[in-house]
Amino acid sequence: MSEHAISEPLDGSEHVIVADLGYGDAGKGTVVDWLCATRPVHAVIRFNGGAQAAHNVVLPDGRHHTFAQFGSGTLRGVPTHLSRFVVVDPLALSAEAAHLARLGVPDPFGLLTVHRDCLLATPYHIEAGRRRELARGAERHGSCGMGVGETMAYALAHGSLAPRAGDSPATLTRKLGVLREALGVDGPPVADCVAAYRGFASRVRLVDSADDLLRRGPVVFEGAQGVLLDENHGFDPYTTWSTTTFANAQELLGGAGAVRLGVLRTYTPRHGPGPLVTEDPTLELPERHNGTGPWQGPFRVGHFDAVAHRYAVEAAGGVDGLALTHLDAPVSRLCQAYEGFETGLQVGGGAALTARLLRAKPVYGDAVTDWPAAVADALGAPVWVGSYGPTSADKRVLTPTFG
């Protein structure tokens, strides 16, 4: 358990932090939906990322939504809080709310609170980020094209000039004018952006912290992307401008207890360029909700990479338990080691490690017949939840003390 976590057995009263121990796409959304369907969850708190997230949730009745900024418990009526670590795109958020409304959520914005210090992603950031990615040519990093990285970079460079959710109309007008000129891009008039953002601010509740939510009852912290893409621990330059470990959620908790739940597939996927040591183009696995994107690049798959996932566990500071998805997939290979990497992967290896990983060769063990046991043994953590399909009804509690 984490330093301040509550002792087992789990009884549904704990906060749970959900993070991906791969390159993303492991199934965080469906795990969060399951938690919200089976436990008394007071709210879902997003603790990193922005509109580039894509967490697919399918309900047993067939309804499907790809969650980007709303929490993946929204179809269950669970409120969402966007913490100060989230980059908010009000225009994309409005489009997402409209789709949720079409799926039967009565008032999506009524379920949402936003920290007033959240950075705003604007059309100007999006245009600048896409231009930067195109300029890389064959050396593209695999941007999602949603301007999140550009928003973070601008905030680091310009500090208080970065637009934020709680800015007044006058302040926002001034900041957007400076931003547009600094980035040297076209885009909609500043006045149009200000009008749209103030309309957004009038529909959501801006707050100063998540403390009130944490006092009311158990919450689920939903991470975006994966630990292997982390801004500090990922394989540079194929990383995100975001902390994808448990760290942000633990900071928001301020010392309160929480269970750290890592999510993995029975095989290792990656969207876009970068190391994927176990990649196998012959793997033919159904992928209903992922494919090649114009910015992110192709969706790639490889066999389960225990070396990379052990690295992710260490980089994240350890896990209390695991959720293992895609147990219905016809896969049986698990990479135990890389040729020439006798000591495994060292946390914080940087670009030099990336170069080695792009040339690395996997070493496989015997065929896997019991995936939960094999993954638990390889990563040194219990597999609490197994997923045999896309819906909450396809999840199984595999460890009796979790429930």
**Is the link from the previous residue into 9 a cis peptide, with omega within 30 of 0?**
yes
Q: Is 165 helix (H, G, I), strand (E, B) or coil?
A: coil
Taking a C-beta distance cutoff of 8 angstroms, is the pair 193, 176 a contact?
yes
Taking a C-beta distance cutoff of 8 angstroms, is the pair 121, 147 a contact?
yes
User: What is the rounded distance in angstroms from the CA atom of residue 114 to the CA atom of residue 98?
Assistant: 18
Residues making up the binding site for IMP: 225, 240
Residue 153: what are its φ and ψ, rounded to 5°?
Answer: -65, -45
Residues making up the binding site: 25, 225, 240, 326-328, 387-389
User: What is the rounded distance in angstroms from the CA atom of residue 305 to the CA atom of residue 161?
Assistant: 42
Identify any residues that bridge with 88 across adjacent strands, giving them in sequence order.
120
Q: How far is CA 44 from the centre of its chain?
A: 13
* Residue of 108, 38, 99 lying closest to 65 (CA atoms): 99
User: What is the rounded distance in angstroms from the CA atom of residue 56 to the CA atom of residue 30?
Assistant: 7
Residues making up the binding site for Mg(2+): 25
Taking a C-beta distance cutoff of 8 angstroms, is the pair 271, 297 a contact?
yes
Taking a C-beta distance cutoff of 8 angstroms, is the pair 227, 20 a contact?
yes
Residues designated as active site: 25, 55
